[in-house]
Amino acid sequence: MKIKYFYFLFSLFLLLLLCGCNSSEYGSKKNSPFTQGNVQLTLKKNKTTQAEVLDKFGPPNVMTIDSDGNEVWTYQKNAMVTHSKKSGFYGSVILAGGESGAAGFEQTVRSMTLIIKFNEEKKVVGFKSMSTSF
C-alpha cells in the first residue's frame, strides 16, 4: 500500500514539475497597453481625446506644455520578463542531472517611451513611441 502511495505522489510531482517547466513565460499574463501595436491602434490624430488616452494608458509620468502651447504627456514604462531558455521536456533533463546551475531561465528588460501631444481641444495632434529590449 505504501509503495503505491509513493508512486502516486512521485508521479504527481513529476507531472506538476513538467507542466511548470513547459511554459515559456512566467508572471502575469495581463496584456500591457504599452506595445507598439496598441499605441498604433489606440492613438488617432485629431480623433483620440485625452480622456480616451487616460482610460487606455493611465496617468502620464510627465505633463508639460511645448513652445506652441500644446499639452505634452510622456509615459515611461519598464518591465522585466523571465523566459525559459528551452522548450519541451526541460524538467526531465533537470531530473536526469543533465543540466545544473543555469536553471534554464533568462531575463529581458523591456522599456517603452511614449510622447503624446494634444491640441487646445484636448485631442491628439501627434505622438512618438520608442521601444527597447535588452
Identify the pLDDT of residue 38: 85
Cell triple for 53: 488616452
pLDDT digit string, tens, across residues 8-34:
656 655 555 555 544 444 344 456 778
Which stretch of DSSP H or E encloses residue 133? strand 124-133
Verdict on whether the full-model pTM lies above 0.75: no
Query: Would you kindly state where each structural domain of the chain is located, as residue ranges?
Result: 2-133
The kind and range of the H/E element at 26 are none
Torsion over CA: 46, 122, 125, 79 (sign): negative
> Given this model, what pLDDT does residue 81 score?
75
Phi-psi region of 97 (alpha: psi -120 to 50; beta: other; left: phi over 0): left
Q: Residues in the chain with pLDDT < 50?
A: 21-29, 89-101
Question: What pLDDT is stored for residue 107 in this prediction?
Answer: 82
Q: Which residue has the cell 480622456?
A: 51
The pLDDT score that the predictor gives to residue 98 is 46
